[in-house]
Amino acid sequence: MYASDPARLTAGRSTSGKGTGPFATGIDGYIARIGGTPLLRLGRVAAGLTGAELWAKAEFLNPSGSVKDRAAWAMVRDGLDRGALGEGRTLLDASSGNTGIAYAHLGARMGFGVELCLPRTVAAERIDRLHRLGASVVLTDPLEGTDGAQDEADRRARAAPGRYFYPDQYRNPWNPRVHYQTTGPEIWEQTHGRLTHFVAGIGTGGTLTGTGRFLREQTAEITVVGVEPDRPMHGIEGLKHLPTARVPPVYDPGLVDRTIRVSTEAALEMQARLASEEGLLVGRSSGASVAGALTLARSLREGIVVTILADRGDR
């Protein structure tokens, strides 16, 4: 599996995959648990499909509980390699929660400070977890969503450039790159190259872009599908309604063949079904992704549809 070697997350770099500098102690075992997540057949929620199969990658099994462990470590590692995250620097970024939690776990384990800008609508469980991990939380205008959180992080980074390491997950090329290097190859290997459709929610766009790009390079027959909320004011944390939101620079819409819009109600219903019918306690964005993937699979006579279970349902 691709996750057994931490160097997988920095493929093509000159480093060995071991921590360096002041934050090296005790990190290798934690990093070795990132990635290599299993692919699960969703047989019960997809009962009645006549030809297609529905599978989901269990990214909630990453050490901090979400797919964002991959990008968070890749961006932190890049900051360490470049010396941008050095002694006395605090990691600053905007997040809807999962990337922030991944940063906070790394910061607590490695000994650097973490300051996060989040919209005030973020679930109380996420904020509580961040506080318990020692992160500083700045809550921003809920009506501006993650765009407002990003604006606040930009402002703080400009005001005190010597204080912060600002990876900026919405613009950082390591966000999609790590999925190109790890998530895409894992899915290709796990399906023995048989998948026909890849479906993922659109938040920063890193997972969809990086994974989709790798899969598209393996075969032009792959269909890449994005999932987004069906309206601007929604309750699916982590996903963006792109027609009314700022399109993240790391997102490549040219890779996406189709976008499926999912209501908050449909995401919540599927989240409940995944728990009661599949034994998978996952978050709302996972419910949205599976709901979108199931809609797609129902329209197919045959195919292998793979989607992402982005996080656990405890946040």
Which positions are annotated as active-site residues?
68, 285
The 3-class SS string of 207-249 reads: HHHHHHHHHHHHCCCCEEEEEEECCCCCCCCCCCCHHHCCCCC
Q: From edge to edge, which strands make up the β-sheet containing 223-229?
A: 39-41, 52-58, 303-309, 197-201, 223-229, 258-262
Query: Distance (Å, rounded) from C-alpha 69 to C-alpha 98?
Result: 8
Dihedral sign from CA coordinates of 246, 249, 250, 251: positive
Lookup: tokens for 129: 């977890």
User: Please, where are the H alpha helices in the chain?
Assistant: 28-31, 68-82, 98-110, 124-132, 145-159, 174-178, 184-190, 206-218, 264-278, 284-298
Query: Distance (Å, rounded) from C-alpha 114 to C-alpha 26?
Result: 18
Query: Distance (Å, rounded) from C-alpha 231 to C-alpha 169?
Result: 24
Helix (H) or strand (E) holding 164: strand 164-165
- For residues 309 and 278, the answer to whether their CB atoms sit within 8 Å is no
